[in-house]
Structure formats: C-alpha cells, structure tokens
Amino acid sequence: MGQSPFAKRSAPSDTPTERRQSTRIDLAVPIVISGRDASGQPFREATETISVSFHGASLKTRKQILIGMQLTVENLVGGSVGKSICVRVFEAAPGQDLHAIAVQLLVPSNMWGVKDPPADWKSAADVIQQAAPAAKPRPPAAVAASSSDLEQRSADLAESVLQLLRGQAAGILRESLKEFEERLKFLESGAEARIIQQAEKAIANADSRLSSNAEKSLADAEISLAKLRRDLLEQLKARSERAIVATEVTLREKIAALISAHLKSIEALPEKKSKLDDKK
C-alpha cells in the first residue's frame, strides 16, 4: 500500500501519468495528506494545493515522497477524501522547506469543491457516472457506521485545520524573525559604518589639531629663539660697550700717570744738574 517497485525521486517527462487529462486550475485548497514517507514512516501533514484538476493536483509538502507512493488526500473545506498516487516530485528551492509534488486521484472527482468547473471536468464526471454500477441501499448498521466515521472525520478535520493554522503561524513567525534579523543586520552594519566614520572623523580632527598645535608650537619656538637671540646680542653689545669704556678709562688713567711721572722727571733734571755743578 505504500511504496511501489518503481518509486523514485523524479519521473520521465513523457510518462502517461503526466499527460494532462483535464483542465488544471490554480487554486489553494487546505488539505491533509497522509501515508508513508520515503523512509517508510507514517505521517499526517496539513498543507494546501497549488493547482487542481478533475484527475489530481499539485500540492506543497515538507515530506520526502517518492513517485508511486500512495497518499490519502482530505479536503478540509468540503470534507471529501480521496486516494491518490504520487506521479511527480519537484526539488525544493534553495533555503526552502516546502517543495511540490503532483498526485493523481485513483478515482477522479471534483473533490476540491470547484463550483463552476471546466467543461471537460463535467464530461469526465459523466463518463465515470455512467460507468459506475447502480448504488445499493445501505442497511441501518452501515448508516450508523458512516455517521460514526463522519464524526471521526470531522474531529480529524478540526485537528488538521489546527495543524494547518499552527503551520501558517510558524511560517509567519519564521518570516517575521528572518525580516527582523535582516533589519537588525542592516542596522548593525549602518551603526558600524557610522562608528567607523565618526572614528575616522575624530582621528582626522585630532591629526588636524595636532598638526595645528605643532605648527603653532614651532612658530612660538621660533619667535622665542629670535627674541632670545636679540636679547643676547643686546646684552653682549652692552657688555662690550661697558668693557670698552672701562678699558678706555683705565688706559687714560695709566697714560695720565705715565705722563705725570715723566713730567716730574723732566722738572727734576735742572735741579740735578745744578747739584752736579756745585759738586764740581
């Protein structure tokens, strides 16, 4: 009942199961699929169709289903149930959990609840109706059993709807978290860029201030050196002038003393001569 001998990941493009037997309509119908996955584990999954036809549908799933596997499809809106065979498997897009598969109904029908189906749907339904044997009246026990089955199916459908809503809520939450993370990364990158820009600006301002301060200090140093040079030259000039004056004074004093001594010696010569004459 689960996996057929020809089950595989993909189907050839020209297999009879892929030839469209009735018009396909893009329609999202909430459904529940159940059966066994590629590992043989039983599963039950709430999902929705992508497109429908009288003979089957393409739908979304997170499970790994192989071609030839039998699935039970339940319409959560109309309550119809049908058996189907997986006829095609599409690979998931990068980064996506969901991928698409195509199923063919074992008993074709408008189980999707399309109110105004295409003409070929009605023709196919008429053919199936004519080929079907006349329905036999069911005994009361069968009616009671169908009523109990209907209650169980209603409970299953309610649980499936809850699963579908939980799945949709989880998907919305994941998208919101992803958007929040992307926004946070954008803000972080913007903040980092602003911090780097401010740091570069601060460094440039600091360099400018340092350069300005260095130029100012150098100019002040040159002014101070020039002033010190002028002061030293003025002090040296004043000291030289004072030394020259002092030297001139000393020389004049010495010259005056020598001249005075010489004059005194000259004045004393006649006296010495007369004394000599007297002695003679």
Domains and CATH numbers, the chain: 1-118 (2.40.10.220)
Q: Where are the beta strands (DSSP E) in 27-141?
A: 30-36, 42-52, 56-61, 70-75, 81-89, 99-105
Q: What is the pLDDT of residue 247?
A: 81
Q: What is the pLDDT of residue 24?
A: 93
Q: What is the pLDDT of residue 15?
A: 39
Q: What is the pLDDT of residue 185?
A: 77
CB 167 within 8 A of CB 46: yes
Residues facing 88 on adjacent strands: 102
* CA proximity to 69, closest of 19, 98, 106: 106
Q: What is the pLDDT of residue 5?
A: 37
The one-digit pLDDT tens for each residue of the chain (280 residues) are 444 433 444 444 443 444 457 899 999 999 999 999 999 999 999 999 999 999 999 999 999 999 999 999 999 998 999 999 999 999 988 888 899 999 999 999 999 999 999 989 988 877 777 766 554 555 555 544 555 666 666 566 556 555 556 655 666 666 667 777 777 777 777 777 777 777 778 777 777 777 777 777 778 878 877 887 888 888 888 887 887 888 888 888 888 888 888 777 777 767 666 766 666 5
The CA-atom distances, in angstroms, between 89 and each of 1, 67, 72, 105, 127 are 19, 7, 16, 16, 29
Cα-based torsion angle of the residue sequence 253, 258, 260, 262 in order, rounded to the nearest 10 degrees: -170
CB 210 within 8 A of CB 204: no
Tokens of 28: 């999202």
Q: What is the pLDDT of residue 181?
A: 75
pTM for the whole structure: 0.44
Q: How far apart are CA 71 and CA 34, in angstroms?
A: 6
Kindly give, in sequence order, each residue whose CB lies less than 8 Å from that of residue 92, ignoring residues fewer than 6 positions away.
98, 99
Q: How far apart are CA 112 and CA 28, in angstroms?
A: 9
